[in-house]
Amino acid sequence: MENNISGYLVQYLEYHRTFKKSVKATLVWHKECINRFITTIQITDVRSVTPADAQDFIYHLNEHGNRTESIRTKARSLKAFFNWLKKRKVIEINPFLDLEFPGKDEPRIKFMMESEVQEFFGNLRRCTLFYSDFEKTRAIAIYSLAYGLGLRL
């Protein structure tokens, strides 16, 4: 039996069009993601794709300036494709499971600790950049309001 990724891609897109009633933009998106994967890893046999190939593809996307969310979206598309192959018993494992993504361990919300807030306002009170006490008081009021309303770094 032929294990060509491109052949399965045609079947997968037909499945999406027929059973999932996907719109044309979705079909184009899946096709572009899978074709980019094929050209990047240069493997045509669907059974020879390994988790290492999938991880290399993620690294490749990151090195070429793709945003983390864009990389995750492409990986979701490929994960769905390989899940479809797995359900049809073409492959045994989905190589797009348990991937590491860039920026995964970085906290999304950055905030100031209480000691940093106290240091910031202390420095603001001692700042000599202001020409009058009014300007200094105004700046402290503005930053206090922003901090109180949840302004983050």
Is the full-model pTM beyond 0.85?
A: no
Q: Range(s) for CATH 1.10.150 in the chain?
A: 5-87
The string of pLDDT tens digits covering residues 88-132 is 999 998 998 888 777 654 555 567 788 888 898 888 888 877 778
> Of 58, 63, 7, which Cα lies nearest the Cα of 33?
58
Give long-range contacts, CB 8 A cutoff, 24+ apart: 141-149.
Answer: 147/112, 147/117
The string of pLDDT tens digits covering residues 30-46 is 899 898 998 888 887 88
Integer-rounded Cα radius of gyration of the chain: 25
User: Angle of helix 24-41 relative to helix 68-87, nearest 10 degrees?
Assistant: 90
pLDDT at site 1 = 42
Q: Which CATH architecture has domain 5-87?
A: Orthogonal Bundle (1.10)
